[in-house]
Amino acid sequence: MIKINANCWNEHGELKTVMVCSPSSVDVPDQRTADYVGWEKPVNQVKAKANHEEMIRAMEDTGVRVIDYSKHLPDEVGELNHKLINRVFVRDLACVYGNTVIPGDAGITMRAPEYFHSHELFQSWFDEKTFSIKDNNSLKALENGDVFVLNRDAVFINTGMRSSIESIEALKSKIFLAGFSEIGIIDLPRTGETMHLDMNCNVAGEDLLIAKSYMSLFPVQVVSENGAKYVMMEDFIKRQGFEVLWTDNVTHTVADINFLNLDPETLLVSTKANKSIFKEHPKVRGKKIIQVDVNELEKGGGGIRCMTLPLERK
């Protein structure tokens, strides 16, 4: 039986346990098929699996415990699961809010089986106090690439292409009960490049957020148990103790923005990432950058953060 002490109060602490899922066994053979399923390019799953193994090795080499949930599925479920082309993007399936694991809800029906399969596993991994499979019963859509746990006080959520304001309203009391006092809600444009919040910004340390410059024009609704108000995004982020590095230096939306904090001083990034972004601010310039080739995986429209679900951070 897997034992996990769910514990994530930020995005930058030392990563101790992370969940992943190996890529599907099914190729996306040509551009026309890729367009139909919402992927950027055709994908060869043999190459994708090699990329995924390299990413896992990089995390394990730094002492991270990596759990591939597909290896724990019952045979009758696994037979279907390994044919699901989006299953590698595990970030969307759930989020650890402090010591509470809250399940997401698929924004498109094509992804619904992954949520169902993983959440059934979570029932055996966590006790009822930590995880309740019923918590997403009232949700319309909430994919957790749209969620950042900024610190012990605040979370930042996008109501965009794959997540609904109705779902945040349904979950807000659970988030407050988990120990947070504020929820910042932004509403980004509904496009392929802005599908999730983590394709537009990312935490790069305990006091720095990297964000595409256009986001500075967006207001954020700040919701607490006492009511709600609106502020500009930068004001909300600064009140949480972060500086914002606004950048237009994004050449590949997924590779450049979708990195993972392994610890306060180490980032796991794609070999395709525009490294000049990490030289634009003194607070990120001195960090250790570990590069992994996830090029074949990124053709599916997601990056390293999308493919990793932190369960424990120190």
Tokens in use for 232?
A: 């500009």
Answer whether residue 1 shows pLDDT above 80: no
Show me where the domains of the chain are located. 15-313
pLDDT at 101: 98
Contact 146, 167 (CB under 8 A): no
What pLDDT does residue 21 have? Answer: 98
Question: Who's near 6: CB < 8 A, 6+ residues apart?
Answer: 96, 99, 100, 101, 126, 130, 131, 311, 312
CB neighbourhood size of 159 (10 A): 21
State pLDDT tens for residues 151-176: 999 999 999 899 999 999 999 999 99
What number does CATH give the domain 15-313? Answer: 3.75.10.10
Residue 289 has pLDDT above 80, yes or no: yes
pLDDT digits (tens, 9 = 90+) for 183-212: 999 999 998 888 899 999 999 999 999 999
